[in-house]
Structure formats: structure tokens, C-alpha cells
């Protein structure tokens, strides 16, 4: 009888030990997931062919599933096992000059493309509301704004991005950055919060437009998600 009781109590402690280990292991997994949940591979908010004819299906598919995915994977690899893994993207950008070049290129590649996908929509509507008022106030007219933005995009030598941003004094400005840099990085010439961006790397347009970057740039206006730009503007001036 005594032996049976001892056996049962050993059995119970073994089971409860298992249960405890399982709980600990689940917590560890959850923590790991929370850490990487900072950086989830974002879904494309529309189908690959949704922005036709302005952005063709094949460009969109390769751009998103190959280029963007590679930036994302290499970004996670570049911060793996470092303090930056627990950080958020804006903090990483604010100290990017102190990070290895792989972090700079791939964190930018991740963030810039995510913002770019979300800057476009198949359901185009003209700009309206506070963002339109702010653009007209700053640039004189929507047409002037578009001309200046196109100029920034056309004259970016080599690969990079054109931006509409808002600075710390809530003033709109246009800029461009080389490679995968962006205006949130401490290395940027003009710093601010991005509201709208255009990728002017050749991989973004070459299959359809070849060397005709200006044609790609003027097509962009047909797919800009002004509701999203307006939302970013309102968040920035809160």
C-alpha cells in the first residue's frame, strides 16, 4: 500500500513537472513571438495585378515577393541576437548611424516598401480634406506639389526614394533619399515623418517602363492612396 502511494505521488509530481515545463516553454515561445511580432512580414493590401496598367502585375509580384521579402529576411538576420531585436523601427532609425550597414540597408528596405505599398490603392480618389489644404498652403497648388515631387523623384541619381514628409514644426516638405535611406534616419539630410513615398529603384519600374522613369513617376498619381496620406498627416499633427 505504502509503495502504491509513493508511486502515485511520484507519478503526480512527474505530471505536474511536465505541466510546469510546458507552461514555461509556452511562455518562452510567446515572448519570442512578441519580440518578432515587432516585425511581421506585411501582406500586400491588394492583388499583384490590382494597380494595372500603371504598375504591372509581374513587377508587383517580383517587387513584393522577391525584393521586399529579401529586405525583410535580411533585416531580421541583421538584428538577430542584438538589442535591436527588441527595439522598434523608429528607434532603430533614430540611431542608424551607429548600426552596421546591413541594418541600415535592410531596415530601410523593410520600412520604405511597407509604406510604399500602403501609399497606393486600386480605388483611387482625389486628395481631399486636411492633407489637400496643407499641400495647397505649402506648395501653392496640387499641381505645383506634383511637379516638385516628380522633380525630386526624377533627379534622384541612381537608386532611391522620393518623399512627402512633415517636419517637427508640422511643415510639409519634399525630399529624396539614396539607396534604402529614409527621412526618419539620423543620417537623412532632411528629417521628418513620411506621409507619401515613391520607389525610384529600377526594379520598381524597369519591366514596364525600361529607362522611362518620368513616365513611371507620372503614372504614380493614378494609384496614390490619398486617404492613407491624409490619415498619416492627421496622426502626425495630433
Residue 65 to residue 221: CA distance in whole angstroms: 24
Nearest residue to Mn ion on Cβ basis: 199
Stretch that binds Mn ion, among 88-96, 133-141, 166-174, 200-208 (CB under 5 A): 200-208
Q: How far is the CB of 64 from Mn ion (least distance, A)?
A: 9
Q: Is the peptide bond before 96 cis (omega within 30 degrees of 0)?
A: no
Contacts (Cβ under 8 Å, ≥6 apart) of 113: 63, 64, 67, 68, 71, 199
Nearer to Mn ion, 174 or 204 (CB): 204
Each residue 140-179 as x (binds Mn ion by CB under 5 A) or -, in order, gives ----------------------------------------
C-alpha grid cell for residue 129? 480634406
Q: What is the 3-state secondary structure (H, E, C) of 175-197?
A: EEEECCCCCCCCCCCCCCEEEEE
Q: Are residues 165 and 193 in contact, defined by beta-carbon separation less than 8 angstroms? A: yes
Stretch that binds Mn ion, among 45-53, 72-80, 192-200, 230-238 (CB under 5 A): 192-200
C-alpha grid cell for residue 155? 533627379
Stretch that binds Mn ion, among 126-134, 152-160, 165-173, 202-210 (CB under 5 A): 202-210
Nearer to Mn ion, 46 or 136 (CB): 46
Nearer to Mn ion, 113 or 127 (CB): 113
Stretch that binds Mn ion, among 129-137, 155-163, 189-197, 199-207 (CB under 5 A): 199-207
Strands of the sheet with 160-166, listed across from one edge: 172-178, 160-166, 193-199
Q: How far is the CB of 201 from Mn ion (least distance, A)?
A: 5
Beta strand pairing status for 172-178 and 160-166?
A: antiparallel
Sign of CA dihedral 52, 56, 61, 67: negative
Residue 223 to residue 231: CA distance in whole angstroms: 16
Q: How far is the CB of 203 from Mn ion (least distance, A)?
A: 6
Q: How far is the CB of 159 from Mn ion (least distance, A)?
A: 8
Does 199 sit near Mn ion (CB under 5 A)? yes
Does 201 sit near Mn ion (CB under 5 A)? yes
**∠153-122-38 over CA atoms, to 5°?**
75
Size of the site for Mn ion (CB under 5 A): 3
Does 181 sit near Mn ion (CB under 5 A)? no
Q: Which residues bind Mn ion (CB under 5 A)?
A: 199, 201, 204
Amino acid at each position: 500500500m505504502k509503495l502504491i502511494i509513493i508511486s502515485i505521488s511520484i507519478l503526480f509530481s512527474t505530471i505536474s513537472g511536465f505541466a510546469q515545463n510546458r507552461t514555461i516553454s509556452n511562455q518562452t515561445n510567446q515572448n519570442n513571438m512578441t519580440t518578432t511580432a515587432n516585425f511581421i512580414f506585411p501582406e500586400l493590401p491588394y492583388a499583384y495585378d490590382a494597380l494595372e496598367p500603371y504598375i504591372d502585375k509581374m513587377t508587383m509580384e517580383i517587387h513584393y515577393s522577391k525584393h521586399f521579402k529579401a529586405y525583410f529576411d535580411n533585416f531580421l538576420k541583421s538584428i538577430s541576437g542584438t538589442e535591436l531585436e527588441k527595439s522598434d523601427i523608429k528607434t532603430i532609425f533614430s540611431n542608424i548611424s551607429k548600426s552596421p550597414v546591413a541594418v541600415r540597408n535592410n531596415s530601410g528596405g523593410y520600412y520604405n516598401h511597407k509604406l510604399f505599398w500602403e501609399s497606393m490603392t486600386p480605388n483611387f480618389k482625389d486628395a481631399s480634406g486636411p492633407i489637400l489644404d496643407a499641400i495647397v498652403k505649402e506648395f501653392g497648388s496640387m499641381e505645383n506639389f506634383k511637379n516638385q515631387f516628380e522633380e525630386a523623384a526624377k533627379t534622384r541619381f541612381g537608386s532611391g526614394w522620393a518623399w512627402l514628409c512633415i517636419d517637427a514644426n508640422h511643415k510639409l516638405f519634399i525630399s529624396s533619399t539614396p539607396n534604402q535611406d529614409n527621412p526618419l534616419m539620423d543620417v537623412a539630410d532632411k528629417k521628418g515623418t513620411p506621409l507619401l513615398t515613391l520607389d525610384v529603384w529600377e526594379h520598381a519600374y524597369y519591366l514596364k517602363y525600361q529607362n522611362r522613369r518620368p513616365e513611371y513617376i507620372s503614372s504614380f498619381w493614378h494609384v496614390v492612396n490619398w486617404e492613407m496620406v491624409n490619415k498619416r498627416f492627421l496622426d502626425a499633427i495630433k
